[in-house]
Structure 1
Amino acid sequence: MAAFSLPASANETHHNVSASVSASPVSQQVTEAVGTVRGIDAENKKITIDHDAIASLGWPAMQMRFTYTEATPQFTDLKEGDKVSFTFIQQENISLLQSISVR
């Protein structure tokens, strides 16, 4: 019997997060970042962004896929190459986009 199991989509993130694990459910800390849109996958509700370093998380600049939902404000004018400001929360191995706007 295992005490826990890893989600099947564990390869969805592209970074090593060294946050401590606690008994609390999911951290709802909203993180602000800036970057450049590299792709939009509307079918899978993913957006790929080359983001600058995020000091609050200790992350270097990198390219990541962020998930969005119906609750995410619409960004119909967004296109590849746009410079954006965005916010997200980290839910286990999913980076969930909260807001995004062209800079």
Structure 2
Amino acid sequence: MAGRGEQDGAGSVLAVGILGATLTFTAVLLPLLAALAMNQSVQNAADASALAAADTVSGFAAGYPCQAAAEAARLGGASVTDCALDGLIATVSVQRRFLVFDLAAEARAGPP
């Protein structure tokens, strides 16, 4: 066939290049998006832990405030790193390991 010469297979090389770039982009982007979702999960666990501690310290629930916070964090897949009470206000810090990252969050709760 006349006129093709050195361009034989150029479309295949281009397709392989685009496929490789797409796979690389996906391999980098997917863990980052998963980390964002996991970070929100850790924040939710911190909120639930602070609410559990505040409910316990105010008398709405039985038990010990920081123990209730630890249980709420465990149910959310995290662990309590700090639990502080200031009157009826509970401040709780939690963390969770995701891949090679330690994701942490803090929340406060108390009476309205």
Q: TM-score, normalised by structure 1?
A: 0.30
Which structure has more RCO (C-alpha within 8 Å, separation ≥ 6)? 1
Structure with a larger share of its residues in helix: 2
